[in-house]
Structure 1
Amino acid sequence: MEIRKVSIQDIENLKEIAKRTFIETYSLVNSKENMTNYLENKFSTEELKTELNDINSEFYFSEFEGKIIGYLKVNIRQSQSVIKDKNALEIERIYVLKEFYGKKVGQNLYKKAIKLAKEKNAEFVWLSVWEKNPRAIRFYEKNGFVPFDKHIFKLGNDEQSDILMKLELNKEKQ
């Protein structure tokens, strides 16, 4: 399993893995209309190009035998989505293809995010996770994250409650 930084030349592969993993994760519990609206806007070529060109955001692919099986997106400074703390790194996305669940892909992407946070001298890492995604919540709790607030995430016309979770870097599990 390899992790590599995504470049602008990877935009079509990023678009494909982003849409596929989002559909696998959320399509059974959201309306088709809301999913379509979100996918068309959030994972459009224009939106992904903007995100890839943002100096405060980075994407990484997880690859196995030449196949992209997951990805990570992190943000710092003003590119963070909810909290804009100069001492923090946001894990905006860790998504893995369902067929690779339980194979440490998410854990390896998580470790990459923590390494990046330390390289950027962040004091803490934070993220937002849907309250109806117990698998992800357990994953982050297992890695030492604790809930500290909530916020509304809009998927199409559906307002969903996300839990904000935080990890102080001097306290993370090894």
Structure 2
Amino acid sequence: MSSITPTPPAATLRRATPGDAVALAELAARTFRETYAPPAGPCDPADVEAYVADHFGPALQGAELADARLRVVVAESGGALAGYAVVRTASRPGEADNFAPASEQEATALLEVATAELARLYVDRPWHGSGVAARLLDAARAEAAAAGAGALWFSVYQRNPRAVAFYRKRGARTIATATFTMGREVQHDWLMAVPTTSGGAT
């Protein structure tokens, strides 16, 4: 007799707290590996592991949660984290490495008001396709709006077509190109932006 896997409770969104540091670090490391390391990702495993060691851990995420410039929103279901988004306020696209703005009028207009950055948005694999990513993006846009930004900007690896399609479907436009160095690889990114909305996570 086959068993039926119970459906997890719907995910709720909220601001992260210092008590989330351990779970957030675990989720951040796991989702980064799943995105960039083989077999799903295109990057060198050693470069990915070095990046994870430098950027993810309870102390590192604890410091981020204490940073007044950052707004961290998590999706939670049944006491476990399903995804997260990090918004960095007072951040402009021109700070990215090898920044090259697009010439289109719409891109220029977004560039002028993009003063908050979506530094990270990741969803745990079991929640892919559930709508959690879209809800986190909406929450991030709202957090950016609350910080006074007219648009939320972010970098997307050009070799991650799934992410590019996700953001374009939700109204994001390419405003520039830039590079991001991970280990020995210099990655080429699209810088994208989407107008902000009102109402943040509670």
TM range (shorter): 0.7 to 0.9
Q: Percent of pairs identical after alignment?
A: 28
Q: Distance in 1 between matches of 2:188 and 2:91?
A: 23
State the Cα deviation string for residues 114-143 of structure 1 (Å, max 9, x = none): 221222221111110100111111111111
Secondary structure (helix, strand or coil) at the match of 1:150 reads strand
Q: Distance in 1 between matches of 2:135 and 2:85?
A: 10
**Contact 1:56–1:78, Cα closer than 8 Å, also in 2:** no
Q: How many residues align?
A: 169
Return the offset for 1:86.
8.1
Pair member with larger Rg? 2
* Stretches of structure 1 lacking an aligned partner (at least 5 in a row): none
**Contact 1:57–1:79, Cα closer than 8 Å, also in 2:** no
Return the offset for 1:168.
3.4
Instruction: Say which of 109, 120, 125 aligns to 1:98.
Output: 125
**Contact 1:19–1:39, Cα closer than 8 Å, also in 2:** yes
State the Cα deviation string for residues 71-94 of structure 1 (Å, max 9, x = none): 1100111598936x8862211111
Secondary structure (helix, strand or coil) at the match of 1:144 reads coil
2:168 maps to 141
Mean Cα displacement is larger for which, 138-147 or 45-54?
45-54
2:194 maps to 167
1:27 maps to 37
Change (3 A) 1:154 1:81: farther
Q: Which amino acid aligns with 2:167?
A: Y
Mean Cα displacement is larger for which, 14-23 or 63-72?
63-72
Change (3 A) 1:79 1:43: farther
Change (3 A) 1:58 1:79: farther
**Contact 1:87–1:121, Cα closer than 8 Å, also in 2:** no
Q: Does 1:111 align with 2:138?
A: yes
Return the offset for 1:59.
1.1
So what's the TM-score if we normalise by structure 1? 0.88
2:54 maps to 41
Return the offset for 1:21.
0.7
2:184 maps to 157
Q: Which amino acid aligns with 1:32?
A: P
Instruction: Say which of 9, 12, 16 aligns to 1:2.
Output: 12
RMSD: 2.2
* Stretches of structure 2 lacking an aligned partner (at least 5 in a row): 1-10, 97-111, 198-202
Change (3 A) 1:87 1:140: closer
Q: Does 1:14 align with 2:41?
A: no
Secondary structure (helix, strand or coil) at the match of 1:92 reads strand
Q: Distance in 1 between matches of 2:67 and 2:94?
A: 13
Return the offset for 1:13.
0.7
Q: Distance in 2 between matches of 1:96 and 1:164?
A: 20
